[in-house]
Structure 1
């Protein structure tokens, strides 16, 4: 097993890999399928707990007792997809990674053997991370340690990669009390 550092990469020795991301707090883990321009083709390429399956990529819940994971079947990833980024954010709203050290473990999805681990260093105000990416280069699949943080949460990551993020509706303005009618002014002589 390889301990990765930011920017390092290794070739994948398995066609199906699971990337689980563990931390001392519950995390939301997701995956985005990206084309050569670094964007999703549609919102269907954003894989997470509410949309757990896409072409060649699935979300696997840890059930609260084990880490959530993104499973990539490189043989089933559609043509035109060159990268799957695996992201994580603390489940608690507004919580940052300050004092939390998430660790991604890349495993052979068929036998569970660990291929690599990566713990992003020096985290602080980030509320979401691109942890690792599984990518295609010259016909071979690899994994790269990224550790890029976002202070604007998962919506910042999703927006950067082309996912449409619906903003919460603004509260409706309170109806205003009707104003009493204004008496007409008497004409000035």
Structure 2
């Protein structure tokens, strides 16, 4: 496939594998007619691997990560699923590590199409392909749109609530006489932040998405 080209999907369930010379983080976003997610629940990735009609599978570093779309189970108000990729290493660009998306029949394994976005450089995240509905038929389109501000740029473009990293602040002056220790305030239920640390947390409703990875 070339950028902008499309192919009809011959199967109800398709899998998009995204491979590159380095490990990638692959995700899928379910978009309504306005081009936005309905809520953060429509952001499918390694900490939230399943949504309505869309699932994520990790390749574990030895195989490509993938997004599987069951078009028969996608809600009627969803018009497209975009498949994105970003290098797992923080700050790495796609210069010299162009990814290839391979679209397959999820049940039989037959290859439907493949696409390698050309001319990548400073991009740190990429919308690779999209699976979309047009006049009752599902198709796949090659996109290759890059973002220089990482997965956060893609997520916010499509309406995901992203928690900005905290900015460092100066330490307060040390008082001459230390005050008596006070008990810490009780935590507020449901106010905890989440992040994308792999295998540690799960995306929950009504929480913002943090794109800051822990050590």
TM-score by length of 2: 0.80
What's the secondary structure of 1:64's corresponding residue?
Answer: coil
- Shift in Å, 1:112: 1.1
- Shift in Å, 1:42: 0.2
- Shift in Å, 1:101: 1.4
What's the secondary structure of 1:116's corresponding residue?
Answer: strand
In structure 2, the partner of 1:153 is 150
Would you say 1:121 and 2:118 are equivalent positions?
A: yes
Would you say 1:45 and 2:46 are equivalent positions?
A: no
What's the secondary structure of 1:115's corresponding residue?
Answer: strand
Distance in 2, matches of 1:176 and 1:141, equals: 62
- Of 152, 164, 167, the residue aligned with 1:167 is 164
User: Which stretch of structure 1 is more off in the superposition, 168-177 or 100-109?
Assistant: 168-177
Number of positions where the alignment pairs a residue of Structure 1 with one of Structure 2: 176
> 1:24-39 to 2 correspondence within 5 Å?
24-39=21-36
- Of 42, 52, 55, the residue aligned with 1:55 is 52
Bigger relative contact order, structure 1 or 2 (CA pairs below 8 A, ≥6 apart): 1
- Of 3, 11, 15, the residue aligned with 2:12 is 15
Residue-by-residue CA offset, 1:137-181 (whole Å, 9 max, x unaligned): 0000000000000000000000000000111222343012459xx
- Shift in Å, 1:22: 0.1
User: Which stretch of structure 1 is more off in the superposition, 163-172 or 105-114?
Assistant: 163-172
- Shift in Å, 1:106: 0.2
> 1:51-130 to 2 correspondence within 5 Å?
51-130=48-127
In the alignment, structure 1 segments of 5+ residues that lack a partner are 180-189
Distance in 2, matches of 1:172 and 1:121, equals: 42
In structure 1, the partner of 2:173 is 176
- Give the greater-gyration-radius structure (CA): 1
TM-score by length of 1: 0.91
What's the secondary structure of 1:82's corresponding residue?
Answer: strand
